[in-house]
């Protein structure tokens, strides 16, 4: 059978559960519990991990002890540890802890920015210049994230032109790793394919990342569409935790273990041990004290069903 679609041989998954996953949880985990999760993530083979954010503790209480987590964790060679920062003070805190990579984020939606911060996206980004200057002077790395790239609870669909304006501003700052984020799960596969294809062609110098929430059960389909557009780096959160305190209706991120399972079934390598990733998700559910949106934990791996069937046939 001929196949006109070219699939990637390998995909990179960035684990954001310790930041985007935990920031909206009612249960505030201790540093020790976060360290258990971090160690489990590393043991599964994940090579890019967002360990938290350096924001004001009153704004996001779950991130109040990110400094202590960084002090307690063991940095494993070959693993990228990054943190989300909102401003220069956040960058300075990250540097003092020994974090070498930070991520700056802004919304593509003017309505979202104005509603939450009383500034337009470009006005918010004016403060990023000092952040980038500090990063470069201190041997750090920086990436960018563009939230509500596909839709906004205040504005609805976000025009491509608004996303482009933010991309251009990031590029002017010298930032060439950018994430397009579906903050409230409003994206659909056709939209993802069209925006992704356009951005890959328009900005070939950018390392594109996509970040999907599974609010309306379209995250996995959106990842497939993004791969068809040529994007091979995706965020996920263990057990499907997540949500944004500043975006009404933002439910959980796509579950990391569900993404791994789908990709492995498609013959696409992630470099991650799925069984160990599922162990991380189970640990997560125990720590937060409730069930989460993880399909592979509910149903098991396809591989397990095949093995069970073969076992029954052998016994018969």
pLDDT digits (tens, 9 = 90+) for 54-98: 999 998 999 999 999 999 999 999 999 999 999 999 999 999 999
Angle ∠(237,240,246) on CA atoms, nearest 5? 80
- In percent, the amount of the chain with pLDDT more than 70 equals 93
Domain limits, the chain: 12-315
Q: Is the pLDDT of residue 1 over 90?
A: no
pTM to 2 decimals?
A: 0.94
Give the bridge partners for 52, in sequence order: 83
Indicate the CATH number of 12-315 among 3.40.50.11540, 1.10.3720.10, 3.40.50.720, 3.20.20.70: 3.20.20.70
Give the angle subtended at the CA of 178 by the CAs of 205 and 26, to the nearest 5°. 170
Q: Record the tokens describing residue 32, joined without a space.
A: 């020790």
Q: What is the pLDDT of residue 154?
A: 87
Active site residues: 244
Average pLDDT, the chain: 93
* pLDDT at 21 (0 to 100): 95
Task: Please tell me the distance from the alpha carbon of residue 253 to that of residue 16, in angstroms, as a whole number.
Answer: 9
Angle (nearest 5°) at CA 231 between 229 and 237: 125
Whole-number Å distance between alpha carbons of 310 and 316: 10
Residue of 265, 203, 230, 259 lying closest to 5 (CA atoms)? 230
Q: Give tens-digit pLDDT for 90-143.
A: 999 999 999 999 999 999 999 988 988 889 999 999 999 999 999 999 999 999
What gap in Å lies between CA 269 and CA 176, rounded to an integer?
Answer: 25
Is the pLDDT higher at 301 or at 245?
301
Reported as half-sphere exposure (CB side, CA atoms, 13 A), residue 301 has a value of: 19
pLDDT at 5 over 90: no
316: pLDDT strictly greater than 60: no
């Amino acid at each position: 059978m001929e196949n006109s679609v070219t699939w990637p041989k390998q995909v990179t998954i960035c684990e954001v559960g310790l930041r985007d996953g935990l920031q909206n949880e009612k249960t505030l985990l201790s540093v020790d519990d976060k360290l258990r999760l971090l160690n489990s993530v590393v043991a599964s083979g994940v090579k890019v991990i967002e360990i938290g954010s350096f924001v004001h503790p009153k704004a996001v209480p779950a991130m109040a002890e990110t400094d202590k987590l960084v002090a307690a964790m063991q940095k494993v060679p070959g693993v990228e540890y990054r943190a989300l920062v909102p401003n220069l003070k956040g960058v300075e805190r990250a540097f003092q802890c020994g974090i070498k990579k930070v991520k700056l984020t802004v919304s593509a939606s003017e309505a979202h920015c104005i509603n939450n911060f009383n500034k337009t996206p470009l006005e918010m980004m004016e403060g990023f210049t000092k952040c980038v200057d500090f990063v470069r002077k201190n041997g750090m790395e920086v990436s960018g994230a563009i939230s509500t790239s596909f839709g906004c609870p205040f504005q609805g669909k976000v025009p491509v032109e608004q996303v482009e304006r933010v991309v251009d501003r990031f590029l002017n700052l010298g930032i060439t790793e950018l994430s397009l984020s579906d903050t409230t799960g409003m994206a659909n596969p056709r939209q993802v394919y069209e925006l992704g294809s356009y951005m890959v062609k328009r900005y070939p110098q950018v390392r594109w990342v996509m970040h999907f929430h599974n609010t309306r059960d379209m995250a996995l389909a959106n990842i497939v569409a993004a791969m068809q557009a040529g994007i091979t780096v995706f965020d996920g959160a263990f057990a499907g935790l997540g949500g944004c305190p500043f975006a009404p209706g933002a439910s959980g991120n796509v579950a990391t273990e569900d993404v791994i399972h789908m990709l492995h079934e498609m013959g696409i390598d992630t470099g991650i041990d799925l069984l160990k990733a599922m162990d991380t998700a189970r640990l997560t559910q125990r720590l937060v004290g409730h069930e989460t949106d993880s399909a592979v934990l509910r149903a098991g791996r396809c591989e397990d069903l095949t093995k069970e069937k073969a076992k029954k046939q052998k016994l018969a």
